[in-house]
Structure 1
Amino acid sequence: MSKKVFGCIILLFHITISVFAGDVDTLIVHSNAMNKDIKNVVITPDGYSKKSDTYSVVYLLHGAGGDYKTWLKVAPKLKEYSDFYNVIIVCPDGERTSWYLDSPIDSTYKYETYVSKELIASVDEKYNTKKEAKGRAISGLSMGGHGALYLAFRHTDIWGAAASMSGGVDLRPYGLRWEIQKRLGSITEYPKYWEENSVINLVHLISDKKLTFQIDCGTEDFFYPDNKRLHEKLIERKIPHDYTERPGKHNTDYWRNSIKYQLLFFNDFFNNNSTKS
């Protein structure tokens, strides 16, 4: 075989790979609600094509102090997971300490609107997605764990599955931490805002709704007592859910391990609903 022919074969191979391989992209979405552009990581699986099948989407929310690139550092194998489960993964930027809320005291923070409406619409427009709840899941770590359950509980029409790892599911014990008071005001002055925006107080929203969800927290995590109380409240109200607790702290090692199981959890949900109308 001549070097010229061999070179052509190699070139063709690389062209083929570039056509069928997925990507890790930065998607910039303009938020009309906040009048600014927001960056998001979007991971597409190998073989992704806008002309073929539609894809389920998993949204992953970062914790306090993080940004849209955090999940790539926490779980470097995200691209492999996207390939293996054949899903699109979206990692939004939650502005360090937005808590994924529409702040009742600061109109410049409307991250519930951004993630649940503006980002969803943009991803569905630009990518070949399943545009219904049974094709969407959301999870997150710490502040993002709060955000994932908060958004899913409040928008069961948007997400069919949700999960939280080490989530801050009750904001009230942390009145002076992680800039929560900048989003909700002082807990002594605005206790109602803290009550209304804590996940543990939102379980009534899903008592008669279909939402597949999981709670995961390490037993050495400072959020562990809150997660356990949420689990017990759900049991008391007979609301189906998965609950995982195991030795672990509030750290990257725990989250890197958790995401593997949560993506399997979501994959089962997608497969179980793929043939349902």
Structure 2
Amino acid sequence: MKKIIYSILLLLFIFTAKAAKVDTLQVFSSSMQKNIKTCVVVPDHYKKSKKAFPVVYLLHGYSGNYRSWAKDFKELGKQVDQYGFIVVGVDGNYSSWYFDSPIDPSFKYETYVVKELVPFIDKQYKTIADRKARAISGLSMGGHGALYLSFKHQDVFGAAGSMSGGVDFRPFPENWDIKKRLGPITEFPENWNKNTVTNMLDLVKDNKLKLIIDCGVDDFFMKVNRELHAKMLDLKINHDYIERPGEHNLKYWENSLKYQLLFFYNYFNDVEKTQ
């Protein structure tokens, strides 16, 4: 009996000893003059490793925050350990849509992510400070944000993904506080047209980015994702596109994240082989 108890305790020790570490940090945004919290998940071997790590930035959806990924996605720690990269849970306020608002100077989340957060993470952690070792993805509002930021800043990100992304928000002019960031669509149509992902494909026609886009077939964003996919095919923009059963909910995103993180793992490995 003692041997059995000892074996169980040993297994429990091994299981708990190897676990991703979650840090909660405050990053000062000089563009918005405030501290913004962020969640950083590092693999269990991070501290002992002499190597630098690739980084995946994850953007939450409307009404979420920096804690959403570590709190809601129970497998994230295991996935970080499995793939051996750092994951950063970005805070985009509850409704920033991750761009710099043309009407509200207090919302500059594009500047924050690209020019403040990424350099901060590279300074504080053992990262590979290169676009080829950075990926960005997100869900819903964050799916739009990930594509938006990667399209505009291909010098910063080498790969990007979208899960149930609001990749064209113009059909939803009264939803999710978008008009607070861009102004009413009837008064400021140009703001809406130039800041929606589906109108930004001219930025990625060189196929410099590695892209993965997915959406559940019962999602209210299904139509705009299909339209984006069709436009990308017409423009010969390389991308992985997936439709699978599911709605706009956590159950779908938990499954989706598995595919997205595997996609980024393969991307990082392919880059490493060519260097």
For Structure 1 versus Structure 2, the TM-score category normalised by the shorter chain is over 0.9
Q: Tell me the residue number matched to 1:158.
A: 156
The DSSP-based 3-state class of the residue aligned with 1:255 is helix
Opposite residue 34 of structure 1, the aligned amino acid is M
Does structure 2 retain, via aligned residues, the 8 Å contact 1:140–1:163? yes
Q: Tell me the residue number matched to 1:5.
A: none
The DSSP-based 3-state class of the residue aligned with 1:27 is strand
Alignment of 1:21-170 (within 5 A): 22-49=20-47, 52-170=50-168
CA distance in 1, matches of 2:56, 2:80: 9
TM-score calculated relative to the size of structure 2: 0.92
Identity in percent:
53
The DSSP-based 3-state class of the residue aligned with 2:99 is coil
Q: Tell me the residue number matched to 1:276.
A: 274
TM-score calculated relative to the size of structure 1: 0.92
Moved more, 43-52 or 27-36: 43-52
Opposite residue 262 of structure 1, the aligned amino acid is Q
Q: Tell me the residue number matched to 2:254.
A: 256
CA distance in 1, matches of 2:207, 2:152: 11
CA distance in 1, matches of 2:140, 2:25: 24
Opposite residue 240 of structure 2, the aligned amino acid is D
Does structure 1 retain, via aligned residues, the 8 Å contact 2:148–2:197? yes
Does structure 2 retain, via aligned residues, the 8 Å contact 1:105–1:185? yes
The DSSP-based 3-state class of the residue aligned with 1:29 is strand
Alignment of 1:7-18 (within 5 A): 17=17
Per-residue deviation, residues 38-74 of structure 1 (Å, max 9, x unmatched) = 0000000011037610001011100000011111233
Gaps of 5+ in 1: 1-9
Alignment of 1:112-261 (within 5 A): 112-261=110-259
Moved more, 200-209 or 33-42: 200-209
Opposite residue 216 of structure 2, the aligned amino acid is G
Does structure 2 retain, via aligned residues, the 8 Å contact 1:104–1:183? yes
User: Aligned-residue CA RMSD in angstroms?
Assistant: 1.8
CA distance in 2, matches of 1:257, 1:221: 15
Q: Which runs of 4+ in 1 moved over 6 A?
A: none
How many pairs are equivalent?
264
CA distance in 2, matches of 1:42, 1:126: 11
The DSSP-based 3-state class of the residue aligned with 1:146 is helix
Does structure 1 retain, via aligned residues, the 8 Å contact 2:42–2:86? yes
Gaps of 5+ in 2: 1-9
Does structure 2 retain, via aligned residues, the 8 Å contact 1:74–1:255? no
